[in-house]
Structure 1
Amino acid sequence: MKVCLTVAMVSAILVSSVGVAQAAEKTAQQQKMTQCNQHATSQNLKGDARKSFMSECLKKESKMSGMTPQQMKMKSCNTEAGDKKLSGDARKTFMSTCLKKA
């Protein structure tokens, strides 16, 4: 009787520890969400800018999820400079200022 009870308790402990280990592992989508969220936070994105960034980052074919935060910041600053049609020294100054933002 004691052996049967001990076996049942050990089995229960093993099953619960396997369940905890599986819950701790993130799926690929959860990892991508975490990474995109970290990138958005590092760029101090808020509101609609954050929503559109997250949407683009989470797309299946998105190349943004493989970028480092600095690469993503460079891309967003470069896009903003292009939208403002900056060139030459004005572009260099803008890019420098944009990339230094926390």
Structure 2
Amino acid sequence: MSKLLSLIAAAGLALSLGAAPTLASAKTAQQEKMSTCNAQAAGKKGDERKAFMKSCLSAQPATTAAAAPATQQEKMKVCNKEAAGKKGDERKAFMSECLKK
């Protein structure tokens, strides 16, 4: 019985160690982003700094955004904003053309 418990514990430990590198690399990327935003926020204080940090940390990396084509959801958001004020067939035609780009 104790051998079985030892084997289960060893298997659990091995599985948890296997996941550690993935978590470490994700944490490192977030830490890098935090360092970059923190450096850019130098001189800002209070609410201004808080708003800047929120915006900076939620922004996508420039290389990813520039290299990857916009997702359908991102296109939809942009086209919806541009279609403000349009109604009916005019809006439908505009959205169709906008989403094809």
Task: Name the TM-score class by shorter chain.
Answer: 0.3 to 0.5
Q: State TM-score, norm by structure 1.
A: 0.36
TM-score between both structures, scaled by the size of structure 2: 0.36
Structure of greater relative contact order (alpha carbons < 8 Å, 6+ residues apart): 1
